[in-house]
Amino acid sequence: MLKELDLLKSLLAEVSDLNRTSAVLGWDQQTYMPPGGSEDRGHQLSLLAKLAHEKFVSKKIGDLLDSLQEYGKQLDPDSNDACLIRQTRHDYLKATRVPTEWVAEFSQLTSVAQDVWVKSRPKSDFNAFRPHLEKIVEMRRQYSDFFKPFDHVYDPQLDDFEPGLKTADVQAIFNELRPQQVDLLKQINAKPQVDDSFLKVKYDEQKQWDFGVEVITAFGYDWQRGRQDRSAHPFTTSFGSGDTRITTRFDQLGIASALFGTMHECGHALYDQGISHELNRTPLHDGASMAVHESQSRMWENLVGRSQPFWDHFYGRLQKAFPAELGNVPLDKFYKGINKVEPSLIRTEADEATYNLHIMLRLELEIMMLEGSLAVKDLPEAWNKRMEEYIGITPPGDKDGCMQDIHWSFGGFGYFPTYALGNLVSLQLWECIQRDIPELDKQIAGGRFSELLAWLRENVHQHGHKFEPQALIQKITGSKIDPNPYIRYLKRKFGEIYGL
């Protein structure tokens, strides 16, 4: 069986190389590619997607997986080889149901759609983007149809990002979470609001960049295996165990966007940089799921980056970089300002207490578009209505409304719920970390993050995609995804800030 296993690994390595080559082109498209390159880039990405899909769904790989199935059952179920056989078989059975022609067409469509989104969003020109989104929704429905019968049309979409989770599971979690968050917001709204006006003035962009680099270097970001650039929407991408890249963006009037966005993307990158090298060039060299991945970015952004101990250490450095803007702002006022709870338009800049409501809004709209109960042409109106209902504000234009996220332009239906799920997972892990590292707050207050990162490497990062997310979370925390640790955290933190 070792001969067959080696052959399977060599074929999967070729598929991985094709996908990573495509990722390089995708990174360039969002960072340095000139505007005129979108059509040609679409053809290039389409071809690579087609080649990778054809190679992965080949009869040769299918035969090898069949021949290795019994051998895999004899191995330690947690071993790299057993997990590789099991996870690859799951991915193979799913991929073989999707025609290669569909994959190529969808890649071409979304490559062009992303470029249209980038150009039309600043102008709030939804009509320019609309025909591309209509086609994307149509093709996502086709995608779900490949997996009939299903419990819900959204299930195949969700499974791409959160293997094993069903739409009903997510709705049940959100239904438990929503009323508790709404109640907390009502309590906060009844209290005097904190002042964050000092955050919304002009901050020198280069100094913001330099401070962000200092912070994520302290976190443990390996610059020998990574870099940072600018993009319209911050993202992280990995081309292998030795090359993981992040991007950030800057607000002309404010420091929070780049500051916490940089921490957020670093959290993703630390995960990718921590996956065992033994899994490189296999389907296992990836995160367990997007929710688990998001738990890492939200942990470093919020549980570390917005914590009191973190700023006990870093605030003096930030004041030194921006003496005119922050020199007369006390630490306590700054800490409350960066944790201010208020309705906001932009998901990526929403506070911890309202963020999940942004996600619930998107989930409902995605499901409605796929079900056909919401036409794409009516998306702006539906978005604005729910923003008013859930958040209490109405976007002044589609730029800050239904066009604010890049996800629908690249066809990422099923992606959004993982952001809220990631919040929940981050607190489940955090409670375990605090138990295992009693001195954690003191270490953070001293600017020391090595033991925290080592814990994450040992318990989460190294395993990559070996285990389904629910299995991994239960293995670490003793339970599947649970909203209660997150609720406890919100009540404790904002109870102190607002005197609840």
Per residue in 86-113, pLDDT tens? Answer: 999 999 999 999 999 999 999 999 989 9
In the prediction, which pLDDT does 182 show? 86
**Contact 220/448 with Cβ under 8 angstroms?**
no
Q: Residue 353 corresponds to which tokens in the numbers above?
A: 């207490």
Which amino acid, one-letter code, is at 329? V
Q: How does residue 233 score in pLDDT terms, banded at 50, 70 and 90?
A: confident
Share of the chain above pLDDT 90, in %: 92
**Bridge partners (DSSP) listed for residue 236:** 246
Q: What is the 3-state secondary structure (H, E, C) of the chain?
A: CHHHHHHHHHHHHHHHHHHHHHHHHHHHHHHCCCHHHHHHHHHHHHHHHHHHHHHHCCHHHHHHHHHHHHHHHHCCCCCHHHHHHHHHHHHHHHHCCCCHHHHHHHHHHHHHHHHHHHHHHHHCCHHHHHHHHHHHHHHHHHHHHCCCCCCCCCHHHHHHHCCCCCHHHHHHHHHHHHHHHHHHHHHHHCCCCCCCHHHCCCCCHHHHHHHHHHHHHHHCCCHHHEEEEECCCCCEEEEECCEEEEEECCCCCCCHHHHHHHHHHHHHHHHHHHCCHHHCCCCCCCCCCHHHHHHHHHHHHHHHCCCHHHHHHHHHHHHHHCHHHHCCCCHHHHHHHHCCCCCCCCHHHCCCCCHHHHHHHHHHHHHHHHHCCCCHHHHHHHHHHHHHHHCCCCCCCHHHCCCCCCHHHHCCCCCCHHHHHHHHHHHHHHHHHHHHCCCHHHHHHCCCCHHHHHHHHHHCHHHCCCCCHHHHHHHHHCCCCCCHHHHHHHHHHHHHHHCC
- pLDDT tens per residue across span 308-341: 999 999 999 999 999 999 999 999 999 999 999 9
pLDDT at 349: 81
- What's the pLDDT tens digit per position in 427-453? 999 999 999 999 999 999 999 999 999
Residue range 111-138, pLDDT digits in tens: 899 999 999 999 999 999 999 999 999 9
Average pLDDT over residues 355-367: 94
Residue 265 falls in the annotated catalytic set: yes
Give the mean pLDDT of 186-209. 94
Q: Is 392 left (phi over 0), alpha (psi -120 to 50) or beta?
A: left
User: Is 70 exceeded by the pLDDT of residue 82?
Assistant: yes
Query: pLDDT per residue over 372-395, tens digit each?
Result: 999 999 999 999 999 998 888 999
Q: At CA 157, angle to CA 154 and CA 162, rounded to 5?
A: 110
| C-beta separation of 362 from 401 below 8 A | no
Q: Which of 138, 205, 265, 366 is catalytic?
A: 265
Domain definitions of the chain by residue range: 2-125, 167-498
Does pLDDT of 195 surpass 80? yes
Q: 145 phi and psi, to 5 degrees?
A: -60, -30
Q: Using 50, 70 and 90 to split pLDDT, how confident is the model at 253?
A: confident
Closest CA to 219 of 2, 443, 41: 443
Which tokens go with 47?
């071809």
Mean of per-residue pLDDT scores for the chain: 95
How does residue 359 score in pLDDT terms, banded at 50, 70 and 90? very high
The confidence score (pLDDT) of residue 113 equals 95
The domain defined by 167-498 carries CATH number 1.10.1370.30? yes
CB atoms inside a 10 Å sphere around CB 491: 16
Gap between the Cα atoms of 381 and 270, Å rounded: 39
Residue-level pLDDT at 461: 98
Q: What is the pLDDT of residue 1?
A: 66
pLDDT above 80 (res 456) = yes
- In this prediction, residue 35 has a pLDDT band, given cuts at 50, 70 and 90, of confident
